[in-house]
A = this chain, B = another copy of it.
Amino acid sequence: MTPKNNLRFGVIGAGRIGKIHAENLATHIPGVELAAIADVDLKAAEDLAARLHIPKAVDNYQAILSDPTIAAVAICSSTDTHARIVSEAAQAGKHIFCEKPIALDLKTIDAALDAVDKAGVKLQIGFNRRFDPNFRKVHTMIAEGRIGTPQIVRITSRDPAPPPISYVNVSGGMFLDMTIHDFDMARYLSGSEVEEVYTAAGVMVDPNIGEAGDVDTAVITLRFANGAIGTIDNSRKAIYGYDQRVEVFGSEGMLQAHNNTPDNHVYSNADGVHSPKPLYFFLERYAVSFIAELRAFVQSIQENSSPLVTGIDGRIPVVMGMAAKKSYLENRPVKLSEITAPVLQPD
């Protein structure tokens, strides 16, 4: 009964983010048929497949890549496997939706992007916040010129609770795991590239994070190519919940995006006027944008248009994260050009 022309998808990785994408592909994305789920833990793949009524569950993602009826994959496996699977999927002619980051080193990223380029398949990186209605609206109004020339960009991004130390140990550190979304947001909102960063950071939330060689609180200054100045502030623990706001100030106005809340009630009593905290964490806050990014990816395949988050868009925030870390370690402004030769050129 499924229409013949549906786009058949495979999901690779049945962990937290894989489950979200699989569920969305199974129910919320018109024109798509979720055909198979792979996970190194076969049981995890089977459980997810059963719950979503998906016929095929495998422990080897190559079974998906070699299935000629499958046109696209969503790569949701562990970070250290992203780049390899991107390359193999590209060689197999699959369109690719890949979670961020592509990899934690540039040589690996560039090799994967090169494979995609050669295969001519679509690649979209999972910077889902670009599809959040608040940030999208701010982006669009800036692009329309509603605030004139952007001059000051402020991004607040604070998590409700720090990740387990086990995750800190493999994530690449806060700049590459958490701030990477804000680096992408800075580019997305300003429409300009960042040339230099300066990081002030420290360990204020949990000394174990410091012992693991990472920081948990940071304020990062960005210098944009167009002259604008930006600042990102991060904390691993905001006691009032997930704090995700942006503000862009320009010559003709200012645009802000406030937090979303579970409801819009207001309670007034003898103590004051009380309203709800932000939605708890990214699963709640970005539920809509996880769906929207997949819809956009499917549309770019169907219409053969450029994905809204390209491979280069996936690479640059990694460079920014590396520069931010170097700036922190050396306590000085660091140019992105110190980190990386121009993209896709021989180094």
- What are the residues of chain B within 8 A of A137 when measuring CB–CB? 262-263, 265, 276
The answer to whether B264 and A152 have CB atoms under 8 Å apart is no
In the bound complex, CA of A149 to CA of B271 (Å) = 18
**A77: CB under 8 A from chain B?**
no
Stretch of A67-75, A94-102, A247-255, A303-311 on the interface side? A247-255
Is A168's CB within 8 Å of the partner chain B? Answer: no
Known: A138-B265, A266-B256. A275 touches B273 (CB 8 A): yes
Known: A151-B204, A274-B273. A253 touches B239 (CB 8 A): yes
List B contacts of A7 (CB < 8 A): none
CA distance in complex: A254, B269 (Å) = 7
User: Known interface pairs A200-B198, A229-B218, A272-B277. Does A255 touch B235 (Cβ–Cβ under 8 Å)?
Assistant: no
> Which listed residue, B152, B201, B264, B268, touches A235 by the CB 8 Å rule?
B152
Residue of B133, B265, B266, B332 near A263 (CB, 8 A) is B133
Bitwise interface map of A from 317 to 347 toward B, beta carbon under 8 Å scored 1, else 0: 0000000000000011100000000000000
Question: Does A53 lie at the interface of the complex (its beta carbon under 8 Å from any beta carbon of B)?
Answer: yes
Interface contact B240-A253, CB-CB below 8 Å: yes
A280 vs chain B, min Cβ distance (A)? 12
Tell me whether A254 and B277 are in contact (CB under 8 A).
no
Cβ–Cβ contact A257 & B249, under 8 A: no
| Copy count, this protein chain | 4
Contacts of A331 in B (CB 8 A): 333
Chain B residue nearest to A268 in the complex (CB): B240
The complex places the Cα of A55 from the Cα of B233 at a distance, in Å, of 53
The verdict on A240 contacting B273 (CB below 8 Å), with A149-B204, A198-B198, A255-B267 known, is yes
Q: Which one of A37-45, A85-93, A172-180, A219-227 contacts B?
A: A219-227
Q: Does B217 lie within 8 Å of A198, measured CB to CB? A: no
List the B residue with the shortest CB-CB distance to A232: B231
Known: A146-B267, A273-B276, A333-B331. A152 touches B254 (CB 8 A): no
- Say yes or no for A2: interface residue by CB 8 A criterion: yes
A243: chain B residues at CB < 8 Å are: 254
- Residues in B whose Cβ lies below 8 Å from that of A332: 332-333
Q: Across the interface, which residues of B come within 8 angstroms of A138, CB to CB? A: 265
B274 touching A265, Cβ below 8 Å:
no
Q: How far is the CA of A131 from the CA of B218 in the complex (A)?
A: 30
In whole angstroms, what is the CA distance A306 to B149 when docked?
47
Q: Which residue of B lies closest to A266 (CB)?
A: B256
Hey, which chain B residues are within 8 Å of A1, CB to CB? Answer: 53, 55
9 A-B pairs with least C-beta separation: A253-B269, A240-B268, A133-B263, A258-B264, A254-B268, A219-B229, A256-B266, A27-B27, A137-B265
